[in-house]
Amino acid sequence: MNLVGKHVVLHDMSLRDGMHPTQHQITLQQMIDVATGLDEAGVPLLEVTHGDGLGGASINYGFPLHSDEEYLRAVVPRMKRARVSALQLPGIGTLEDLRMAVDCGVGCVRVATHCTEADVSAQHIGMARKLGVDTVGFLMMAHMITPEQLLVQARLMESYGAQTVYCTDSAGYMLPDDVTVRIALLRAELRPETGIGFHGHHNMAMGIANSLAAIEAGAVRIDGSAAGLGAGAGNTPLEVMAAVLDRMGAVTGVDLARLMDVAEELVVPMMDTPIRIDRDALTLGYAGVYSSFLLFAKRASERYGVPSRDILVEMGRRRTVGGQEDLIEDVALDLARARKAKATQG
Amino acid sequence: MSDKLKVAIVGSGNIGTDLMYKALRSEWVQPVWVVGVDPGSDGLARARAAGLKTTAEGLDGMLPHLAADGVRLAFDATSAHAHAEHARKLGERNVVVIDLTPAALGPYCIPPVNLAAHVGTGAMNVNMVSCGGQATVPIVAAVSRVQPVAYAEIVATVASKSIGPGTRQNIDEFTRTTARAVEVVGGAKRGKAIIVINPAEPPLLMRDTIHCLTETEPDQAAITASVHAMVREVARYVPGYVLKNGPVFDGRRVTVFMEVAGLGDYLPRYAGNLDIMTAAALRTAEQFAQHMLGGRSS
């Protein structure tokens, strides 16, 4: 693989996707410290939002320690070079939230939908463009459809005004060839000026390999997370990605040593438990299940005495999509009842 | 037949057509007109086959016949954009309007919670909120009638095939309107609504999760009884309205898991979200009819 001289924009997720494993309890000071560290390390883009995007504060997804607005107002003014992005999922957050984020000074808005539902994003993508920020369409759970189907949805987002379209492996299910075929098709068929991005999860340990495949096939933006802090087994570890790209002669503009220090000294201490591929995270990747279901399944498992792996497999069997966290408790109750019935019969 | 309230259905799309089949079975209302804008629409063809009068000229095509045909109530199943004009023209002619669009010019109506409050008080335009509202607000009300609810949040998961272009183009309208109804009709001090669209095949039935945070320790027995009673009440007009799990109690959190299957009149069974709108609208019309027909012996 030859990536010599390729320019890659790294986008850090630790303060947004990293909200999932921290149960949205990152303090303002931690946000500021990590963001400032990433900025100084030359990371060009970093995301700050509730794990489920603007307006995600809820019983269903978790109440954060601070509001999106408090986090954004704390972080954005302190950035010297980095731009801050905000994530938005139509159906959860509204245009009002989006306007608030832009008012806080975010330079990039990423509008996310399930990979087959791009047409719910027209209003939000259109608004982001109108407000003059860098606008990204983010197609989640992209492993669930064919590359050709993904292209249809990517074209919709492009037609609404998205300047970059992402192939998002929310479940950490894809293998490098799955990434190559999707990114290559998007690159070949979308307008030349539309950028392509890839967002990976490390549930099958494919974060780096998939991101390299994406770059080779034409992606210019790669999401990762300092120390991998993110849902499931985390995102593509950003400092590792930067190191690999450096060895391959690609250009990221990132100061590798400083990025390693941010990951090691600031992000790792924020972890409640190590971000690693435990059997539940591996199940997410293996079965193609949305990564942020992980902690919800673990909690439901404790409460209802059903193995979390069984809950996650059932979530996969029911073809669930991102945002269906409410179904986890429902499924756990169903499984607990079925076990009880079986025990009684037995 | 002659002693039923004569009604018109404005809008010959999926919702209007499903509503027509339900209304044709009603003991209290008799659909006489279906109004569309597309002469080739399946809905208008079906209305003609059912012996109803139709026009493809929009509401203006029916208005000249309104008085002669004795239409006293109309359902608006068009769009929020068209509704303002429809409401004005029908209101001028003293026709009660049941609004299935997101326009919400009139008060929200969730039949088992506040329909009685609208009937007989001169209300001429009531709004059916949203599919998520019809499916979840009754449960919020079932909790809040037992004890104060500080916050309620609903998550509606619907099949991709059951969500039309109108909703997709303005998904915020769903979340805003539903959240507002959770507060105004459901009785929660603060409300939030979330919608998730799932493309699985075969399509999934509509699912709704209702979370309430009570102000004080929840009275588990009273809330459970109240929720069960409310589910029975809704199931009278939506037989596929089923309590899947709960109420679950976790500190001050009360969570109820519902599933909604439709009757499959015109819309497929999985589209419980659309069925509950048409069923609630018909239920509302029937209550108005009973009042407007006054002394009819039944």
More confident residue, A269 or B294: A269
* Binary contact (A59, B165; C-beta < 8 A): no
Residue A60 sits in a domain of what CATH number?
A: 3.20.20.70
Per-residue pLDDT averaged across B33-50, rounded? 95
Which one of B171, B198, B255 has the shortest CB-CB distance to A120?
Answer: B171
Give Cα separations from A131 to A44, A124, B157 (angstroms): 21, 11, 30
Cis check for the bond before B247: say yes or no (omega within 30 of 0).
yes
Chain B residue numbers with beta carbons less than 8 Å from the beta carbon of A95 are 172
Q: Tell me, what's the pLDDT at B295? A: 53
> Does the residue A278 lie in any domain?
no
Q: What would the two tokens of residue A262 be?
A: 């941010």
Q: pLDDT under 70 in chain A at which residues?
A: 346
Cis check for the bond before B202: say yes or no (omega within 30 of 0).
yes
Domain count, chain A: 2
Instruction: List the catalytic residue out of B19, B131, B223, B227.
Output: B131
> Does the residue A275 lie in any domain?
no
Q: How far apart are CA B246 and CA B228, in angstroms?
A: 10
Residue A301 shares a structural domain with residue A175: no
> Does the residue A237 lie in any domain?
yes
Per the CB < 8 A criterion, the answer to whether A241 and A228 are in contact is no
Residue A264 shares a structural domain with residue A296: no
Q: Tell me, what's the pLDDT at B166? A: 81
* Binary contact (B199, A116; C-beta < 8 A): yes
> Does the residue A223 lie in any domain?
yes
Distance from CA of B85 to the nearest CA of A (A): 24
Taking only the tens place, the pLDDT of each residue in B213-255 is 999 999 999 999 999 999 999 999 999 999 999 999 999 999 9
> Does the residue A184 lie in any domain?
yes
Per the CB < 8 A criterion, the answer to whether A330 and B257 are in contact is yes
> Does the residue A1 lie in any domain?
no
Q: Tell me, what's the pLDDT at B205? A: 94
Domain coverage including residue A298: 292-345
Probe site for chain B from A92, A116, A140, A326 (most B CB atoms < 10 A): A326
Q: Which residues of A lie closer than 8 Å to B, measured between beta carbons?
A: 58-60, 90-92, 94-96, 114, 116-117, 119-120, 122-123, 303, 318-321, 323-324, 326-327, 329-330, 333-334
Instruction: List the catalytic residue out of A20, A50, A143, A201.
Output: A20
Residue A112 shares a structural domain with residue A214: yes
Fold of B5-128+277-292: Rossmann fold (3.40.50)
Given a cut of 90, is residue B1 above it in pLDDT? no
Residue A108 shares a structural domain with residue A214: yes
> Does the residue A82 lie in any domain?
yes
Chain A residue numbers with beta carbons less than 8 Å from the beta carbon of B250 are 303
> Phi/psi class of residue B36: alpha, beta or left (left: φ > 0; alpha: ψ in -120 to 50)?
beta
* Binary contact (A90, B153; C-beta < 8 A): no
* Binary contact (A114, B197; C-beta < 8 A): yes
Mark which of A236, A270, A304 sits at the end of a domain.
A270
Cβ-based burial of B21 (10 A; exposed 0-12, middle 13-18, buried ≥19) = middle
Q: Tell me, what's the pLDDT at B121? A: 82
Taking only the tens place, the pLDDT of each residue in B125-141 is 999 999 999 999 999 99
Q: Where are the beta strands (DSSP E) in chain B?
A: 5-10, 29-35, 53-55, 73-76, 96-99, 125-127, 149-159, 188-198, 206-214, 241-250, 253-260
Q: Where in chain B is the domain with CATH 3.30.360.10?
A: 131-270
Q: How far apart are CA B168 and CA B174, in angstroms?
A: 9
Phi, psi of A167 (to 5 degrees): -100, 115
Q: Tell me, what's the pLDDT at B298? A: 43
Q: Tell me, what's the pLDDT at A109? A: 98
Task: Map residue B290 onto helix, strand or coil.
Answer: helix
Q: Tell me, what's the pLDDT at B297? A: 43
Fold of B131-270: Dihydrodipicolinate Reductase; domain 2 (3.30.360)
The DSSP string of B179-195 is HHHHHHTT-EEEEEEEE
Find how far residue B29's CA is from the centre of its chain: 16
Predicted confidence band at B296 (pLDDT cuts at 50, 70, 90)?
Answer: low
Dihedral sign, Cα of residue A284, residue A290, residue A294, residue A296 = negative
Dihedral sign, Cα of residue A334, residue A337, residue A343, residue A344 = negative
Chain A residue numbers with beta carbons less than 8 Å from the beta carbon of B157 are 324, 326-327
The proportion of chain B whose per-residue pLDDT surpasses 90, expressed as a percent, equals 83
Long-range CB pairs of B213-216 (<8 Å, 24+ gap) are: B213/A59, B213/B149, B213/B150, B213/B151, B213/B152, B213/B252, B213/B253, B213/B254, B214/B143, B214/B147, B214/B148, B214/B149, B214/B150, B214/B252, B214/B254, B215/B147, B215/B148, B215/B149, B215/B150, B215/B252, B216/B147, B216/B148, B216/B252
Mark which of A239, A270, A301 sits at the end of a domain.
A270
Q: Tell me, what's the pLDDT at A346? A: 62
> Does the residue A285 lie in any domain?
no
Is B109 catalytic? The answer is: no
- Stated pTM of the model: 0.94
Residue A51 shares a structural domain with residue A125: yes
Q: Where in chain B is the domain with CATH 3.40.50.720?
A: 5-128+277-292
